[in-house]
C-alpha cells in the first residue's frame, strides 16, 4: 500500500471513529512533503529522531489553532521572525 493511500484510509477511520469531519484532517501531497521534510529536519537537527513525531504533533496543534503550515515550517527552521 502506498503511503498516501495508507494515511488517507487511516484518516478516514479516525474521522469515522471520532465523529470528526474527515475533510480538514486529510493530508494532501504538498502537505505530506512539507511534514516529512520537517520531521527529517527535526530528527537531524536535534540529533534525536523521537523529535520528529513530537514536532508533527506540535505542528498539528498549531495548524488546528489557525497557523499556516508553511509559516510554521519556516519557524521550525529558524527562517521566520519570532
Q: What is the pLDDT along the chain (82 residues), one digit of tens a residue?
A: 576 799 999 999 999 999 999 999 999 999 999 999 999 999 999 999 999 999 999 999 999 999 999 999 999 999 876 6
> Left if phi > 0, otherwise alpha if psi is -120 to 50, otherwise beta: which for 10?
alpha
- Least Cα distance to 73 among 45, 48, 22 occurs for 45
Q: Where are the domains of the chain?
A: 3-77
DSSP label at 25? G
Q: What is the pLDDT, as a whole number, of residue 4?
A: 74
Q: What is the pLDDT, as a whole number, of residue 2?
A: 73
Q: What is the pLDDT, as a whole number, of residue 82?
A: 62
Q: Note if the pTM is more than 0.85.
A: no
Q: What is the pLDDT, as a whole number, of residue 31?
A: 93
Amino acid at each position: 500500500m502506498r503511503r498516501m493511500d495508507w494515511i488517507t484510509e487511516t484518516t478516514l477511520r479516525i474521522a469515522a471513529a471520532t465523529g470528526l469531519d474527515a475533510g480538514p484532517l486529510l493530508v494532501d501531497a504538498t502537505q505530506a512533503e512539507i511534514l516529512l521534510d520537517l520531521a527529517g529536519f527535526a530528527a537531524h537537527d536535534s540529533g534525536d529522531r523521537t523529535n520528529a513525531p513530537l514536532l508533527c504533533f506540535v505542528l498539528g496543534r498549531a495548524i488546528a489553532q489557525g497557523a499556516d503550515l508553511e509559516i510554521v515550517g519556516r519557524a521550525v527552521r529558524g527562517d521566520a521572525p519570532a
